[in-house]
Structures are given as C-alpha cells and as structure tokens.
Structure 1
Amino acid sequence: MTLYIRRESSKLWKRFCSEITTEIGLLAENWKYLVAGIICQYIHGLAAKGVHYIHRPGPTLQDLGFFLLPELGQERSYISETVFTTVFVSFFLWTFHPFILKSKKIYTVLIWCRVLAFLVACQFLRVITFYSTQLPGPNYHCREGSKVARMPWPKNPLEVLEINPHGVMYGCGDLIFSSHMIFTLVFVLTYQKYGTKRFIKLFGWLIAFVQSLLIIASRKHYTVDVVVAWYTVNLVVFCLDKKLPGLISDNPSFIETKHLLS
C-alpha cells in the first residue's frame, strides 16, 4: 500500500512539474492578453460605477418576470449571490485541473485568454447599452427613498477611480444586461466546449436557468436584462470562437511534445 502511494505521488508530482513548465511557457507568450483582460475588468467596474452617478430612482417598471415570480425579499437576496459565487469558484478551480488530472483538453493560460476575450466583448456591449438608456433600478437599494439610490458627485478625480466592494454590491443603473449572467453563460459555454463530463454540462445549463430566475425573483434586474444576456452572450461567444485561434491542445505536434515531456 505504501509503495503504491509513493508511486502515484511520484506520478502526480511529475505531471504537476510538467504542467507548470508548459503553462509558464504559454504564460510568457500570452501574458499581455491576460493583463489586458484584467485591466478591462477594472474599466468595466469603473463604467458601472460611473452610471450610478446619473441614476435617478423612479417607479419600478412593469415586468412580466416580476408578475410571474414571487419576490424573494431582501432577507433572501443572498441566494442568487451564493449560486453565482459557487459557479464562479467551481469554474475557476476546473480551469486548474490539468495540474493534477491526467485526462485533459485545456491549458489553463489559454482557457483564461479565451474566457477574458468573451467577457470583454460582452462587457463592452453592456456598457454601451446601459449608458444609452438608464432605467430606474428595481433593486431595493435603488428605489425611491433609499439613501444609496443616488450617488453624490465625486469630490476629486481619484474618487472616481476607486472601486470598493460596497459600491459593487450596491450599484444602480447598470441594468441592461446582467453582468452575473455574462459570467455564468461564458463559463457554461466554455465548459460545454472543453469539458468532458456530460452530466456537468447539463447541470451547468440548469444552474444558468435557475440563476436567471433567482436574479429576477431577487429584483436585481428586470427580465429584459436577463433575456438580452442570454442571446447576446451566446452570439458573442459563437462569433468570437470562430475568430480566436484554437487551443494549443488541438495541435497534434504539441500533444506529441507534451506526451514526451510527461
């Protein structure tokens, strides 16, 4: 038993070292895309904060989803955030599974290059959309009478560049279309293409659908915000996936090299 554990541990360590070597090489070639994607996430955060300055609370608009789905209430609004956090963490961990599992179809650096490209394209469209028309926020803290429904104008330029967790959780005005659904659908679509477990693929789509209902029931978005996210993200990923170069794992010569290294 001890000999078996040692042998398997040795194999795991060799696989880990081999993967580290490969990923470092890929990172050296593609780091600029990752950095650009991360910077764009920050810019998207600034844009979402900026629209809060011009948000004006008003009566909640008539919405089919609000009529059909019972309101969860403020005390249960954490449910949708919990589901989203679970999806995010699960996907993040999955992208690092090549370091320990033998069967794989992805390389961590390359998969995040693609994911960030999808996110940036969707967020670019999102920023254009929610700055074009500001709807009165349906969330509880965005309604008339709330102290945080309006954000006071910044006292200095540095205040505009600051992003804090409170502002992310209590933002208003960045409605069409849902950022939570952008991330969720990009993750599900990515696993749909590069994942290996059929059950997880089906479960991912189910979770995305449930997440949509929870967002509406929590009154964090109007139904239109979720509906637009569903077809926009799918179209963006479909179009970009045709343009972006394939993962290196599709290259037979690279697979052969990896096999020799391991």
Structure 2
Amino acid sequence: MIIISSIQRHTLSSDSAMLVYFDREAPKLWRKMCAEATVEVSLLAENWKIILAGLIFQYIHGLAAHGVHYIHRPGPLLQDSGYLLLPELGQDKSYISETVFSFMFGSFVLWTLHPFLFQRKRIYTVLIWCRVFIYLVVSQILQIVTFYSTQLPGPNYHCREGSKFARLPHPENALDVLFFNFPSGLIYGCGDLIFSSHMIFTLIFVRTYHKYGTKRYIKQFAWLLAVIQSFLIIASRKHYTVDIVVGWYTVNLIAFFVDKKLPELPDRSSALSLLPLSTREKDGKNKDEHHRLLNGISGANAN
C-alpha cells in the first residue's frame, strides 16, 4: 500500500508539473504565433499582387490543360525507352505515384508554415510562396506553349482508344469549360503532356527546400523522392519519358535564371526572436524587423 501510494503521488506530481508546463508554454506559443502573423501580414500587404497573380494563373493553367483535352485524339502509344526499361505497374497501382506526390506536396506546405510554430527558422512564409509562384508561372507558361504546339496521343489508360474519356465532346456552353466539366474534367485529363505538371511542382518544391531548408538528410531524401516519383510516373504510363526528362532540365534551368533576376531572400537564422518578453520589447522588435524587411522588399521591387 505504501508503494502504491508513493506511485500515485509521483504520478499526480508529474501530471501537475505537465499541466503547469503547458499553462506556461501555451501563452508563449500564442504570442509567438501572433507576432509571426503580424510580420507575415505586413509582407503580404507588400506582395499580395504576386500571390494573387500566382493563384489566378493556377486556374488559367487548369483551363489550358482542360482545353487541350478537347483537341486530343487517342492513338497508338509512341515508342518510349522508359516503357521498355520499366515494367508497367498497371491501372490498379496508379495511385502509388499520386500518393508520393501528395506526400511531397503536403510536406512542403507544412514546412512553409513552420515559422508560425517553431522558434528556429530561416524563412518568411509569404516570401517563400512569392518565389514558388514565380517559378510555377514561368514553368507553366512554357508548358502550355509546348503541349499546344503538338498534341501527342496520351499514354494514360483513360486516354487510349476505347475509353470514354479519351475524347471530349464539344462543350455545350462556356460553363463546361470554365468549370472543367466538374468533376470528371479534374480527374481525367489528356493532351497536357510535355512537360509533366507533377514534375514542375515536385522539382520546384525540392529545389526550394534544398536552398532554404536546414536539414541535410531531408534534402537528400527529397531529391531521392523526386527521382522515385519520376520512375513511378513512367511506370504508371501517365507520361512519356520525354515529358519527365524535359521537366527535369527545364524546371531547373528556369529556377537557375529566375534566381539570377530575383534578390536573395533574407535569412532569419540570425534575426531577433519574435517571442517578446514584454509589450514594449515586442513592439520594438516587430517594428525593427518590419522596417528592415520592407526596406529589403522595396529594393527588390526596384530591381
């Protein structure tokens, strides 16, 4: 009984200590998130046009990809080296490549939001997404020009002769185009081949983390996933090998030249903490960081 009572007292003491810890840390986390939001809102006020233009262009890109489906004509698969080297996964395993892509997409989005939660950080969320949207828009413009120049017979299962999705009937009204024949138009697309949209997003996300991330092993793992994703797309017969190869060197070249034109992002690793100890210190630190950032952004816009 004495031992049991001792264990119970120890458990209660540990629980009490844990509650005290959470009670003490929760306000700090909330203050840090509010301080971070203040800085990010200031950056968003200066860069909202880039963010909005990037989001609008994602819809325009979707319209272009849907539009090329109307002129797609199924035909025999082209001779492809990747198809000869990689065994076909089959229609029932096509979800594997989408799962890998979804994991990479979600992981990148969460990483761009980590400054709101963690004290150690090197990036500003708004500035990272401004850069990502610039990469995306330039890459997608070149992609649209390319896949409208020459329409290849889609290798995906739903793009082959005999599938009801291989050809789209002429739209009955503008809404069919503007809303992508929802939902089938969002799932079953054909004709937007060279070069792969999945590789555009994948390579931009991996390159961005490679440049601004801090964990070396995550960088190496991300590049490995990009390579695996390339093989899975080919093995799933969602793209020809040329779509993947062109994506690899085009996106990397675009990022290389865009980086030469854009000013470098500020490094926050040596910046003052955004977790204030008092209201006066909070205002002083936020004003100082806000002023420094806006000066840097103004200089970037001038370039």
Normalised by the length of structure 2, the TM-score is 0.82
Deviations 1:12-58 (A, max 9, x none): 12211110100111111111111100010000000001110110100
For the pair shown, the structure with the greater C-alpha radius of gyration is 2
- Cross-structure match for 1:204: 222
- 1:162 pairs with one of 179, 183, 189: 179
* Alpha-carbon shift at residue 6 of structure 1 (Å): 2.8
* Alpha-carbon shift at residue 11 of structure 1 (Å): 2.2
* Alpha-carbon shift at residue 162 of structure 1 (Å): 1.4
Pairwise mapping of residues 176-195 of structure 1 onto structure 2 (< 5 A)? 176-195=194-213
- Number of residue pairs matched by the alignment: 260
* Alpha-carbon shift at residue 168 of structure 1 (Å): 2.5
* Alpha-carbon shift at residue 160 of structure 1 (Å): 1.6
Deviations 1:123-169 (A, max 9, x none): 00000000111111100011111111001111122322113342122
- Cross-structure match for 2:27: 10
- Cross-structure match for 1:233: 251
Unaligned runs of 5+ residues in structure 2 are 1-16, 276-284, 290-303
SS of 2:62's equivalent in the other structure is: helix
Is 1:243 matched with 2:272?
no
- 2:106 pairs with one of 89, 94, 97: 89
Instruction: Output the amino acid matched with 1:219.
Output: R
Counting aligned pairs with the same residue, the percent is 66
Q: Quote the Cα distance in structure 1 between the aligned partners of 2:252 and 2:147.
A: 19
Q: Quote the Cα distance in structure 2 between the aligned partners of 1:105 and 1:49.
A: 38
> Do the aligned residues in 1 keep the contact of 2:119 with 2:273 (CA within 8 Å)?
no
Q: Quote the Cα distance in structure 1 between the aligned partners of 2:187 and 2:262.
A: 33
- 2:115 pairs with one of 98, 108, 111: 98
- 1:219 pairs with one of 228, 233, 237: 237
- 1:58 pairs with one of 75, 80, 84: 75
* Alpha-carbon shift at residue 251 of structure 1 (Å): 11
- Cross-structure match for 1:172: 190
Q: Quote the Cα distance in structure 2 between the aligned partners of 1:229 and 1:28.
A: 33
Q: Quote the Cα distance in structure 2 between the aligned partners of 1:256 and 1:76.
A: 49
CA root-mean-square deviation: 1.8
Unaligned runs of 5+ residues in structure 1 are none
